[in-house]
Amino acid sequence: MFREALEEVVRGTEGGIAALIMGFDGIAVDHYVRDDGAIDVDTIGMEYSVVLKDIQKAADMLEAGATQEVAVRAERMTTVMRLINEQYFVALAIAPTGNVGRGRYLLRTRVSAMREALE
């Protein structure tokens, strides 16, 4: 259903590896992986759905308002996650040498269409 949008985001981002839309319940709605098998997308989603919930709780306590985006830079991969609504988020995995700014931009500009489609 969202495969095309996810593919656009991954292929439009230099170093883009994979993208997925997932509920905070850990169930993936759709995903796209550039080189199949290189990455376990379901594992990404499930792990980060927990992290995002904690971040939302932390932001609430700080009265920082709703969390919009989280970027995790690790040695071998950067993950950018963006909230779609209270139930769903979209995540993009990028190689360390990739263009994170471009990935963030593509997610930001596509999230409202995703929100509408998920309603």
Decide whether 68 or 85 has the Cβ nearer to a second copy: 68
48 is a contact residue toward a second copy (CB under 8 A)? yes
97 is a contact residue toward a second copy (CB under 8 A)? no
13 is a contact residue toward a second copy (CB under 8 A)? no
Per-residue DSSP letter, 21: E
43 is a contact residue toward a second copy (CB under 8 A)? yes
How many whole angstroms separate alpha carbon 8 and alpha carbon 6?
Answer: 5
79 is a contact residue toward a second copy (CB under 8 A)? yes
28 is a contact residue toward a second copy (CB under 8 A)? no
- Residue 19 forms beta bridges with which residues? 32, 92
Stretches 4-12, 25-33, 50-58, 111-119: which one binds a second copy (CB under 8 A)? 50-58
Residue 10 Cβ vs a second copy, minimum distance, rounded to whole Å: 16
How many whole angstroms separate alpha carbon 33 and alpha carbon 14?
Answer: 14
76 is a contact residue toward a second copy (CB under 8 A)? yes
Decide whether 29 or 100 has the Cβ nearer to a second copy: 100
Burial of 50 (C-beta count, 10 Å sphere; 0-12/13-18/19+): exposed
38 is a contact residue toward a second copy (CB under 8 A)? no
Length, in residues, of the chain: 119
Closest-CA residue to 38 (of 16, 65, 17): 17
